[in-house]
A = this chain, B = another copy of it.
Amino acid sequence: MYHYAQPHPAVTTDVVLFTIRAGRLELLLVRRRHEPFAGCWALPGGFLDIDEDLDTCAARELEEETGVRGVYLEQLYTFGAPERDPRERVIAVAYYGLAPADTIEVQAGSDAGAAAWFARDALPGLAFDHARIVELAHRRLAAKLSYSTIALQLLPREFTLSRVQAVYEVILGRPLDKRNFRRQLLALGCLQETDEHQRDGNHRPARLYRVRAPQTVAFFK
């Protein structure tokens, strides 16, 4: 049917930004200054300007509310349950990203009374349906480990395989078998051996690797 003249919903973008700090998977939240859910923690985000691109809106709202800029964000999913916002119909285009904590400086701004990192497994109650958005973002991130180099964004230019495994284990929230992990990771074909080694504590020197090409891996070649 031709609904062109019907009332339009509001559209927001909301961002789930993950990092790893002190061996934990954490994400960035802001404390809402305004109703609804004033005082409650929520994902950084806000309303789309009428002439603004969706990606631009996600980056702008993230920066306005948390001071964080220049991180790579990817569209996750669009949430549109009719009752998800008590004010009016609001469609939320959710984004997610993964960035090294040491490159990020957080500073609350505009609609946010505060901005802070929270461990994914110890989140406060979240405004709206943001807990569902976080859950999907975590599932997508975990799934993406198996066919992309997304987790390698958290590593320095050269790294040992133990360090990669530690990142995977933190994101997946469980230990991985060392031999299977290495076999599967190397089979993705995205790592390149270097001639360098690094001494890990009391262990014998471990080889350093680097990323061959930071891209998605084609499984059926």
**A residues within 8 Å of B by Cβ?**
1-4, 6-11, 34, 46-54, 64, 75, 77-78, 80-82, 87, 89, 91, 93, 110-111, 143, 145-147, 168, 172, 176, 180-181, 184, 216, 218-221
Contact = CB atoms under 8 A, between A and B. Distances in A.
A143 B216 contact: yes
A1 B13 CA distance: 12
A220 B93 contact: no
Given A110-B1, A146-B147, A146-B219, A8 B6 contact: no
A interface: dominant SS: loop
Given A78-B75, A80-B53, A4 B147 contact: no
- Report copies per complex: 2
A219 B81 contact: no
B220 A46 contact: no
Contacts of A2: 34, 46-47, 110-111
A33 to B, nearest CB: 9
Contacts of A11: 8-9, 11, 80, 91
